[in-house]
Amino acid sequence: MVTSICLCLIIVTLASSSRLVCYYNSLAEDRAEYGKFTVSDIDPNKCTHLIYAFSDINNQHELVPSRATDIQQYEAFNGLKTRNPLLKTLLAVGGLTFNTQKTADNRLLITASVSAEKAIIDASYEVPQIAKYLDFINVLTFDFHGPWESVTGHHSPLYQRSQDTGNKTYFNTDFAMQYWRDQGAPPEKINMGLAAYGRAFNLSSASSNVEEPANGPGEEGCYTGEEGFWAYYEICLYLEGVTPQLITDQKVPYAIAENQWVGFDNNDSLNTKASYLKANNFGGAFIWSLDLDDKSGQFCKTVKCPLISHLHALLVPGFPDLSTTNTTSTAPKTTPTTITTTPAPPTTAAATTAAPTTTAEDPVSPPQTR
């Protein structure tokens, strides 16, 4: 996979190293029926940071909305902070440049979403240098495998399989997180990427284990509409009555429904990943994306937004604690200021990475390409 850098600017200083960062894919508002997800569906008390994806940069190097309705959505998105003054909101821009967002006189916080693949890390990032200037780093630890391959494989395994050899030993979350740390990124700045979706394969034989023959992507999600890409709520719908199986050495589940093989995360694997984060003193996690969770709980037959709710309980159970917060003095302005920016020079990490595929033509996939 070829991964793009995604730079974000936000206001206020981090209060602690524990964070749960949640992307909002604004194109989800165009989906039909249950797939439709708008800013009004966001619970501002579940995540410490919310990232609005995505904005554009025009030919004059100005930050501009990607759609006519975005300005109104920015205001509603920032307005979530009136319900939770401790919430931090970000605006994401993929590609070769970064965006700015400015309110009041507080300092800006700059972050990046970066590749989890060793070859891309080696070619694209001067890790010690960029780590000096980034307040936190979102490592895209998903899509290590998928239906573009000829055999089944989990897209976001925690560890390598015991049978993995050669480059395959790099295609797992543990390696990527440790590699960023070992290359010079402070562990407290590193966030693990989590996927609120599964990657589905069409099985081409009676075998159904990991690395068994597959014939392209699985069926398209009935609401998200992309072959081999199932939102978490779609997984609950398709796998009703099916018992997930565990990939023991990778600590992640998969399930089979007829000839469909899908890897995903559930509460058990999130428990393991959260414990891993804490044991290694990493800063936190981020998730792609809010609109892929079960917003009402009706398909998964549980609480609203079950994945986000579970991660909140695991990582930031005390957030937000408003008992000492003066909501009057900390309520933010709701209209962001557009600031012109200049493309990064060719020597920077941003200039050496590919542009993302998450554009108006790609409404559901996470911010990276292969």
Q: Domain containing 191 — which CATH number?
A: 3.20.20.80
Give per-residue pLDDT as tens, 95-151.
Answer: 333 444 433 485 667 899 999 999 999 999 999 999 999 999 999 999 999 999 999
Query: How sure is the predictor about 353, in pLDDT bands with cuts at 50, 70 and 90?
Result: very low
Going from the C-alpha of 366 to that of each of 4, 70, 157, 231, 267, the distances in angstroms are 11, 19, 16, 11, 21
- Rounded Cα distance between 352 and 124, Å, is 5
- Rounded Cα distance between 350 and 347, Å, is 8
Q: How many CA atoms lie within 13 A of 313 on its CB side?
A: 9
Q: Is residue 143 part of a domain?
A: yes
Q: Is residue 222 part of a domain?
A: no
Give per-residue pLDDT as tens, 12-64.
Answer: 333 345 899 999 999 999 999 999 999 999 999 999 999 999 988 777 878 88
Domain membership of residue 304 as a residue range: 6-195+266-352
Nearest Cα residue to 13 out of 140, 130, 111: 111
Decide: 210 and 169 in contact? Cβ < 8 Å: no
Whether the predicted pLDDT of 209 surpasses 80: yes
Q: Is residue 303 part of a domain?
A: yes
Give per-residue pLDDT as tens, 219-277.
Answer: 999 999 999 999 999 999 999 999 999 999 999 999 999 999 999 999 999 999 999 99
Q: Is residue 169 part of a domain?
A: yes
Q: Is residue 85 part of a domain?
A: yes
Nearest Cα residue to 195 out of 270, 301, 106, 90: 270
Residue position matching structure tokens 């206020």: 12
What local confidence, expressed as pLDDT, does residue 366 receive? 76
- Rounded Cα distance between 342 and 59, Å, is 10
Q: Is residue 221 part of a domain?
A: no
Decide: 161 and 246 in contact? Cβ < 8 Å: no
Decide: 37 and 29 in contact? Cβ < 8 Å: yes
- Rounded Cα distance between 67 and 196, Å, is 25
- Number of domains present in the structure of the chain: 1
Query: How sure is the predictor about 362, in pLDDT bands with cuts at 50, 70 and 90?
Result: very low
Q: Is residue 238 part of a domain?
A: no
What local confidence, expressed as pLDDT, does residue 63 receive? 82
Kindly give, in sequence order, each residue whose CB lies less than 8 Å from that of residue 143, ignoring residues fewer than 6 positions away: 1, 155, 156, 195, 199, 366, 368, 370
What local confidence, expressed as pLDDT, does residue 324 receive? 64
Q: Is residue 278 part of a domain?
A: yes
